Amino acid sequence: MNQKICLLILLATLLITSCSNRLQKSTAGYSFSHPSGTPDYSNLDHWAAHPYKKDPSDSIPLPLRKGYQADSSVDVFFIHPTTYTDTQRLLGWNAPIDNTELNTKTDYTTILFQASIFNEAGRVFSPRYRQANLSSYFPVSANDTIQALAAFMVAYEDVKAAFTYYLQHHNNGHPIIIASHSQGTTHAKRLLKEFFEGTALQKQLVAAYLVGIPLEPDYFTAIKPCITPYQTGCACSWRTYKEGYKPDYVLKEKFTAIVTNPLTWDEGMPAADRKMNKGGLLLNFNKLLKNVTNAKVNEGVLWTEKPHFFGSLFLKTKNYHVADLNFFYLSIRENAKQRVSAFRKK
């Protein structure tokens, strides 16, 4: 991921932040301090989303509120993407978990617009963690590489600690959905390999939605790719670009990443017209946009045409990373419920 692409992602993220609604904002607590720096997951402040507090992941787009019924017998563990995008790394290589500005940004971008996708399929848990700075993905020197790897390790250890705490105190045998985006997927892949792959816990896995980071075809052995809409215990993955475009870092990959079409969920239907897209969610949380874009699997990536929404004329980027989940908001939401239903019938 080069700097130009990262800047485009940052600009898109800032746009969403500036336009997002203020649902739940008055009830969320951001002004807390934690002197030791190491997260304490018995403290609800250290969770961006948790069923024991009101937070932006509880928000439901207005068109979906009628008939909404959450499933409290299933758990969703969502690992959020990088929101620590300061190019100067003023907070260091890893973000603290008690930075008010950063936590507000996290909760009103990714937790509101992404984690909320899953709030009908199950109870949403999403830990705050000492995320690695965005620059960790493109080190410019040998020392940077060492620092970046160390930053990712710190971040993963927090995610691991949060998941361990969740298992010990909250899971109680519930089926589990793992969901993630971008840096969250970097950690989710490792978490699945360590906790689920070939273990007793794998029997509780409804599905994993590992989005925004490539999933190598041989990364897992026991966890198979999802190739049908109702398959369970499997992993979905995709990265979204404008049709005809593949960035240099994709062209240099020595593997063909696993790609799931998030409109069909069917290996036998690798392409879907935008009329199959029941609703994407972009700048206005309460407005679902039907037919916003199509989806077509193409050798390791997901291609879409230029999205259809007011103002898209000015959209010049060919990298749709920031909208990996939101282009397909309603489709993912419905699929998570489908897989839960199939899991119960096993």
3-state secondary structure of 124: strand
- CA 137/CA 148 separation, integer angstroms: 7
Phi and psi angles of residue 271, each rounded to the nearest 5 degrees, phi first:
-130, 145
**Dihedral sign for Cα atoms in the order 150, 136, 45, 60:** negative
Q: What is the pLDDT, as a whole number, of residue 29?
A: 60
CB 46 within 8 A of CB 29: no
Domain with 258 in it: 3-345
**Structure-token match 């699945």, residue found:** 192
Q: For residue 49, how many C-alpha atoms fall within 13 Å in the half-sphere facing its CB?
A: 30
**pLDDT at residue number 14:** 37
Alpha helix positions (H), 56-182: 100-106, 112-113, 142-166
Query: How many folded domains does the chain comprise?
Result: 1
Q: Could you read off the pLDDT tens digit of each residue along the chain, which spans 346 residues? A: 443 444 344 334 433 333 333 444 444 466 677 778 899 999 999 999 999 999 999 999 999 999 888 889 999 999 999 999 999 999 999 999 999 999 999 999 999 999 999 999 999 999 999 999 999 999 999 999 999 999 999 999 999 999 999 999 999 999 999 999 999 999 999 999 999 999 999 999 999 999 999 999 999 999 999 999 999 999 999 999 999 999 999 999 999 999 999 999 999 999 999 999 999 998 899 999 999 999 999 999 999 999 887 777 667 899 999 999 999 999 999 999 999 999 999 8
Q: Using an 8 Å Cβ cutoff, are 135 and 169 in contact? A: no
**Which structure tokens are listed for 59?**
């928000």
Give 315-330 pLDDT, tens digit per residue.
Answer: 789 999 999 999 999 9
Global confidence as pTM: 0.92
Instruction: Give me the residue label for tokens 């896995």.
Output: 205
Q: Which residues contact 162 (CB under 8 A, 6 or more apart)?
A: 39, 41, 46, 47, 125, 127, 129
The per-residue pLDDT for 10 is 38
CA 237 to CA 259: how far, in whole Å?
A: 5
Strands ordered across the beta sheet of 271-272 = 240-242, 301-304, 295-298, 271-272
Integer Cα distance of 220 and 242 in angstroms: 28
pLDDT tens for 260-306 read 999 999 999 999 999 999 999 988 999 999 999 999 999 999 999 99
